[in-house]
Structure 1
Amino acid sequence: MTSHPRSPGSADGDPPLPSTVARPVEHELVVKKSRFITLLHPVTTVADAEAVIARVRKEHWDARHHCTALVVGTHADQQRSSDDGEPSGTAGIPMLEVLRHRHVTDVVAVVTRYFGGVLLGAGGLVRAYSNAVSETLDLAPVLRREVMVEVAVEVPHAEAGRIGNVLHEWCATHGAVLEGTDYAARATYRLLVPPPQLVPLEAALASASSGTLSPAVGDRRIVDVPA
């Protein structure tokens, strides 16, 4: 699980945040002897994406085209594409449209084309580049992004084991995450909780402790969780 600072624009009731991919994925598509080698790579900045593109260009130095599309930002704020010598509008934009349609962000797609000697025409190129990215996304492990609330629960050491079990079970059934435990004068459990589950958490703690324990609510974070 990966967490990010909360974007000021995120709020309860907003549309779901775009997903992202968990790791790089590569896939090859052959269309009329042309090879379309697609790399999808998670990135967090445009500079990261440009570094990935540069690495692919170096690795496949003998290819005719390296067409690209990238989407970056919590709300897919930055988007760029390049046809890299293919006829205008036949590669980069169709690739970007797939990323937009699939509602993903913080990812760069690089499609390296080795020309096979058969012209595909504008429509054929659009289909090939779109399919190359779409098929690769189908293979990629996706991370869903959610706004979660940081919560701390301080517990006397004598009760830590019992309350820890209660919190483990509660998190498993309420979409929450028990991040860890700190031990000092008291044991402090650190949780990430979906905003609608804060009231149920307070009720569960009150029930388990005869009203002596309550959660300390902290900041909100954007968290990547497996889809």
Structure 2
Amino acid sequence: MSEQDFYQTIAQNGQAEFKDRGSRFIAYTFPIQHTDDFKNCLQQLKKEHPKAVHHCFAYRLGVDGNSFRVSDDGEPSGTAGKPILGQIDSKGLTNLLIVVVRYFGGTLLGVPGLINAYKTAASMALQMVPTMQKPVTVRWQITFGYTQMNEVMRWVKALNCTIAEQEMQLFCKLILDVPRNRMEELKTLLSDMREVEITTLKNA
């Protein structure tokens, strides 16, 4: 695992369209944190474009470079997913999904034409969105009593943690994305409080 504390990703969703011989290639970019985010984005696009013939995609997650997936979704092998991933990697980005939706225009493009179309659509979409540096995070679950909520929330905010889920009852539970370079600090602060339990969750 790389010990980087920061990574480059995109700041927001983006969209661009490339046309070749009647076929339309609409590329969508999404910043994502987990594989669940990817599934939700893909399902949403399939609902929005039910008549499209292909929904090809590539994503990369994490800073170690090992978590990625590509799909040609019925296009000839290697003509869609790999060229899309190549655009993500050429810019040194991660925690990012690109889906390219294709509407067939009646003319076959051939393997070189398809590779060019998916690569170009992905590249155009990435040009539409600003990139940003974000901290590498580790997902924690924290449980604590309701009376400690204000103090816990104060440190969560102060150390730039992101709350993914929360349950506030008599016993409270937070699912947090904690910046890796602030983990020890937060652990020390919370360990001084009674009955606070920290569990490290495996990132999905």
Matched, 1:106 2:67: no
Q: Which deviations, in whole Å up to 9, do the C-alpha atoms of 1:56-77 show, x marking residues without a partner?
A: 0111000000001011113333
Equivalent in the alignment of 1:141: 130
Q: Distance in 1 between matches of 2:135 and 2:56?
A: 31
Q: Distance in 2 between matches of 1:142 and 1:61?
A: 30
Matched, 1:32 2:21: yes
Give 1:20 shift. 0.5
Q: 1:220 aligns with which of 177, 181, 202?
A: 181
Amino acid at match of 1:220: N
TM-score by length of 1: 0.58
TM-score by length of 2: 0.64
| SS of residue matched to 1:119 | coil
Amino acid at match of 1:50: K
| SS of residue matched to 1:67 | strand
Equivalent in the alignment of 1:209: none
Equivalent in the alignment of 1:67: 56
Matched, 1:56 2:56: no
Report the aligned-residue RMSD: 2.3
Q: Distance in 2 between matches of 1:139 and 1:9?
A: 29
Give 1:191 shift. 8.8
Give 1:221 shift. 4.5
| SS of residue matched to 1:19 | strand
Q: Distance in 1 between matches of 2:111 and 2:66?
A: 29
Q: Provide the identity percentage.
A: 38
Equivalent in the alignment of 1:84: 73
Q: Distance in 1 between matches of 2:40 and 2:62?
A: 17
Give 1:116 shift. 0.7
Give 1:102 shift. 1.2
Unaligned stretches of 5+ residues in structure 1: 1-7, 148-181, 183-189, 193-218, 223-227
Amino acid at match of 2:46: R
Larger radius of gyration: 1
Q: Distance in 2 between matches of 1:94 and 1:119?
A: 18
Equivalent in the alignment of 1:9: 2
Contact 1:41 1:107 in 2 (8 A): yes
Alignment size in residue pairs: 144
